[in-house]
Amino acid sequence: MDNRIRGTILITGGTGSLGQQLVETLLAQHLSKKIIVFSRDEWKQSEMGKRWPGGHPHALRYFLGDVRDRDRLHRALAGVDYVIHAAALKQVPSCEYNPHEAVKTNVLGTQNVIDAAIDRGVKRVLLVSSDKAVDPINLYGATKLVAEKLAVHACAYAGAGGPLVAVCRYGNVLGSRGSVLHLWREQAASGRIAVTDRRMTRFWITLPEAATFVLRSLREMRGGEIMIPKLPAASILELAAEVAPGCAVDEIGIRPGEKVHETLISPNEEGAILDQGDHFTVVPANVDPAPWSGTRMPRGFVYMSGDCAVQLARAAVRGGLAS
């Protein structure tokens, strides 16, 4: 099977954990003609450039810009065929205390990406979303929910000649910047680690798995759908025991905007939910699900971490710590 993405691909938030993994995967497997890393952090671009220099032989370009700036996006998307929109403010506490900034980046930034893609004749746009967007209780989740809505309805907004726009939604990424795994590794030296709530469960995915799913979603998307991988879930105590074995656990209390369990599919999803083997697809309510294959799930179907918690593979946790 040919997995190549024939054309030029631009990654917003391209210097983030996922963005760098996407670049590594695309380059290693020669999956695209050209890659543009779009981000606002010149230092991170400089550090990436030491590993993957721009220009020949990688056909890689670094483009400074912010998704809040529609004019800059319009310039960056000249000649671009595909966009992976991964730029976001994602730290829950930071978004809670800086709500205007979260809205500007996560909501208005997504609108800017879609509008610029329409104007520039981009073929496909894929929004990277989060389980926090499902029945959100914090501002980060609320902004991702709105971003999902913008993406899901963008195909109708763009018209027949516009790009296909879709969403991929998954859980916590092992080893991403800000991951609790790295915090526990630092705390483990003292013999004690902190958890917010012993009952807590989360869905987990590794960075290589996330990048593979994102690229697969970009290739297979039809437009308007939300693609959700089937992921392992683990209790916070199971994860802590693997990361910091033998350490005492201090429960410090749940933080504002946190849930005890996370949900990847809510009973309130609008549209048809299809089981497609290793992933689910949510087809919007105003679209006929017939072109999509798979088994239609019953109304009220829920995919929650607390209902399917299984112990994560140790190799996955070690891989997350190493990244």
Number of H helices, E strands in the chain: 12, 17
Structure token pair of residue 96:
């809670």
CB 96 within 8 A of CB 54: no
Q: Please list the active-site residues.
A: 132
Strands (E) located in the chain: 5-12, 32-39, 60-64, 82-85, 124-130, 164-170, 172-174, 192-195, 201-206, 226-229, 233-235, 248-251, 263-265, 272-275, 279-283, 295-296, 303-304
Integer-rounded Cα radius of gyration of the chain: 19
Start-to-end Cα distance in the chain: 29
Q: Which of 175, 180, 182, 185 is nearest to 197 (CA)?
A: 180
Cis peptide before 57 (omega within 30 of 0): yes
Q: How many CA atoms lie within 13 A of 161 on its CB side?
A: 3
Phi and psi (nearest 5°) for 9? -120, 130
- One-character DSSP codes across 60-128: EEEEE--TT-HHHHHHHTTT--EEEE------HHHHHH-HHHHIIIIIIHHHHHHHHHHHHT-SEEEEE
Sheet with 201-206, side-by-side order of all strands: 172-174, 201-206, 233-235
Q: Cβ-count burial of 65 within 10 angstroms (0-12 exposed, 13-18 middle, 19+ buried)?
A: middle
